[in-house]
Amino acid sequence: MSERDSERSISQTVRAQLALRDMILSGQLRPGERISELQAVEITNVSRTPVRLALVRLEDEGLLQAIPSGGFMVKAFTERDILDSIELRGTLEGLAARFAAERGASARSLEPLKECLADLDQLVRQDPVSVEAFSAYVTMNARFHALLTELSASPPLIRQIDRVSALPFASPSSFVMAQSALPEAHQILLIGQDHHRIVVDAIENREGGRAEAIMREHSRLAARNLRLALRNRTHLDLLPALALLQSPA
């Protein structure tokens, strides 16, 4: 094989998984479409064994759906499915925040979260937020949510949150970029950041209920962004995840 060095070190299974995922998210494989193993073999240039494993992995991820008689098809999602997935993530992150608060996260363990919060503050401060700042926000925001999840110190919960967030439209940063095209962009960013501040404060003060509630509300900001983006239909190209929407996007 004369692949690039960077691609030689990873396994065929992962390579196939990445290639197929890309094709699904980019819409080259349409929702409802059956995807045969041989077809996948042609696409990815790896043999059936790793392809099959990749398909199984993508099924757990939630991108594919097993057909009873065998094989897989690309899963289709309704707008309601997406909204529910966001609410689901919010609920789980709320639980994580409550655990962190009730179990007394140590001052030391809170430090990285606070640093992250400060970094986000820095980014949000500028009034016309540059595109680069938005991009940096997405990264930092993902880090904030990951740190918060870990603060729960609950492996089973962390696992579930990771599984929900694996869906491309359910992760904490899914619709932040879509925001950037909206007039209310800066406003929403400020509100979201205030939620971040509140949850850290609540955890510090052992206010479990408050921590839980604010994370639930926080996720509804993503729901709002989604709805706005769908209504305005501007810059929908920023949202590859919506290729999975079954009603015409």
Partner DNA sequence: CGGCGCATTAATGTATACATCATGAATTCA
Partner DNA sequence: TGAATTCATGATGTATACATTAATGCGCCG
3-class SS shares of the chain: helix, strand, coil, % to 5: 70, 5, 25
Q: In the complex, what is the shortest distance from the CB of residue 59 to DNA, in angstroms, rounded to a whole number?
A: 11
Binding at 12: pick from DNA, a copy of itself, none (beta carbon under 5-8 Å per type): DNA
Q: 245: burial class by Cβ within 10 Å (0-12, 13-18, 19+)?
A: buried
Does residue 117 contact residue 149 with C-beta atoms inside 8 Å?
no
Binding at 159: pick from DNA, a copy of itself, none (beta carbon under 5-8 Å per type): a copy of itself
Question: Of 43, 53, 223, 230, which one interacts with a copy of itself (CB under 8 A)?
Answer: 53
Count of C-beta atoms within a 10 Å radius of residue 79: 16
70 binds DNA (CB under 7 A): yes
Range in contact with DNA (rule: CB under 7 A) among 29-37, 128-136, 139-147, 176-184: 29-37
Angstrom distances, CA of residue 65 to CA of 71, 82, 145: 9, 16, 28
Q: In the complex, what is the shortest distance from the CB of residue 75 to DNA, in angstroms, rounded to a whole number?
A: 15
Question: Of 41, 52, 146, 235, which one interacts with a copy of itself (CB under 8 A)?
Answer: 52
Given the complex with DNA, which of 11 and 130 has the nearer CB atom? 11
Binding at 37: pick from a copy of itself, DNA, none (beta carbon under 5-8 Å per type): DNA
Name which of residues 60 to 89 contact a copy of itself (CB under 8 A). 60, 62, 80-81, 84-85, 87-88
Helix (H), strand (E), coil (C) string for 179-203: HCCCCCHHHHHHHHHHHHHHHHHHH
Name which of residues 176 to 195 contact a copy of itself (CB under 8 A). none
Annotate 80-115 with b (16+ C-beta within 10 A) or e (fewer): ebbbebbbbbbebbbbbbbbbbbeebeeeebeebee
Token pair listed for 42: 């042609």
Q: Measured between alpha carbons, how far is 175 from 214 in angstroms, rounded to an integer?
A: 19
**Could you give the angle at which helices 155-165 and 79-102 cross, rounded to 10 degrees?**
160
Given the complex with DNA, which of 70 and 248 has the nearer CB atom? 70
Q: In the complex, what is the shortest distance from the CB of residue 52 to DNA, in angstroms, rounded to a whole number?
A: 7
Instruction: Tell me how far apart the terminal alpha carbons of the chain are, to the nearest angstrom.
Output: 39
Range in contact with a copy of itself (rule: CB under 8 A) among 135-143, 154-162, 198-206, 240-248: 154-162
- Which residues sit at the interface with DNA, rule CB under 7 A? 11-13, 35-39, 46-50, 52-53, 69-72
- Which residues sit at the interface with a copy of itself, rule CB under 8 A? 49, 52-53, 56-57, 60, 62, 80-81, 84-85, 87-88, 91-92, 95, 99, 154-157, 159-160, 163-164, 167
